[in-house]
């Protein structure tokens, strides 16, 4: 399933703080609801780093107190997406999908946006990242490479996926990522044994997304 409607725009925003990204998504969501836009995918990386909790997150999955998080430079935010606790850091590529979603297609939509990333990773980097419905996300060498969490309120999606490209991964030592105690996470740079520039990654992924829209 290709989750992107015809005409979907793809925009690279670059480094952006988390609160501003929420405001941008909400503004675009209103445009989609009013018929003023077919939808947009926003590509960015979050700075300063932030730890977010989904709407059903267990706060015990944050392993450090808020003072420690602040001292280490991490903000803490509660959000309306699905999923548990995750980390966004500079060097991690985030794709926010603000597009219309048909009723009762939540699972196919999530699998579809992960499928776009999975195909891109295989074609561009030779990484076979596998989808796991029981542990939503993409996994490579039994470590989580790409997390997913969406909000489909009102038939328009917000939030999306985050893939570790060249981020420090420090924040993942402060949480039980996605609620998995002792969960192992990895990055594209670790898997390839070389540093992958996150900006270059987003440029290439943007082309991949635009091609998928044009091929519809």
pLDDT digits (tens, 9 = 90+) for 26-66: 999 999 999 999 999 999 999 999 999 998 888 888 999 88
Tell me the pLDDT of the chain averaged across its residues: 93
Which domain, by its residues, includes 62?
A: 9-211
Residues 11 and 20: their CA atoms lie apart, in Å, by 15
198 domain residue, yes or no: yes
Residues 165 and 76: their CA atoms lie apart, in Å, by 21
Would the pLDDT of 160 be above 90?
yes
158 domain residue, yes or no: yes
Asked if residue 144 lies in contact with residue 150, where contact means CB atoms within 8 angstroms, the answer is no
pLDDT tens digits, residue range 66-81?
A: 889 989 999 999 999 9
Place of tokens 């794709």: 95
Asked if residue 146 lies in contact with residue 161, where contact means CB atoms within 8 angstroms, the answer is yes
Residues 138 and 135: their CA atoms lie apart, in Å, by 9
Name the DSSP class of 129: P
Query: What's the pLDDT band for 183 if we cut at 50, 70, 90?
Result: low
Which residues, 6 or more positions from 126, have their beta carbon under 8 angstroms from its beta carbon? none
CATH of residue 28: 3.30.930.10
SS3 112: helix
2 domain residue, yes or no: no
216 domain residue, yes or no: no
Query: What's the pLDDT band for 181 if we cut at 50, 70, 90?
Result: low
Asked if residue 29 lies in contact with residue 37, where contact means CB atoms within 8 angstroms, the answer is no
- Does pTM surpass 0.85? yes
71 domain residue, yes or no: yes
Q: Is 146 a catalytic residue?
A: no
1 domain residue, yes or no: no
Q: Chain-centre distance of CA 174, in angstroms?
A: 19
3 domain residue, yes or no: no
Q: Can you tell me the mean pLDDT for 68-96?
A: 93
130 domain residue, yes or no: yes
Count of structural domains within the chain: 1
The single residue of 129, 140, 162, 178 carrying the catalytic annotation is 178
């Amino acid at each position: 399933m290709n989750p992107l409607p015809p005409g979907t725009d793809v925009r690279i925003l670059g480094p952006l703080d988390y609160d501003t990204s929420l405001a941008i998504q909400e503004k675009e969501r209103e445009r989609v609801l009013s018929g003023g836009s077919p939808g947009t995918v926003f590509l960015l990386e979050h700075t300063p780093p932030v730890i977010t909790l989904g709407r059903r997150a267990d706060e015990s999955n944050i392993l450090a107190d808020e003072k420690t998080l602040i001292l280490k430079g991490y903000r803490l935010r509660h959000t309306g997406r699905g999923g548990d606790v995750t980390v966004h850091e500079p060097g991690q590529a985030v794709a926010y999908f603000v597009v219309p979603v048909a009723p009762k297609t939540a699972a196919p939509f999530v699998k579809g946006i992960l499928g776009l990333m999975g195909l891109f990773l295989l074609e561009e980097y030779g990484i076979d990242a596998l989808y796991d419905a029981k542990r939503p996300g993409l996994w490579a060498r039994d470590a989580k490479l790409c997390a997913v969490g969406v909000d489909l309120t009102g038939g328009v999606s917000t939030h999306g996926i985050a893939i570790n490209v060249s981020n420090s991964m420090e924040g993942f030592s402060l949480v039980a990522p996605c609620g998995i105690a002792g969960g192992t996470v990895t990055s594209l740079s670790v898997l390839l044994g070389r540093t992958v520039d996150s900006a270059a990654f987003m440029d290439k992924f943007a082309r991949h997304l635009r091609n998928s829209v044009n091929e519809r």
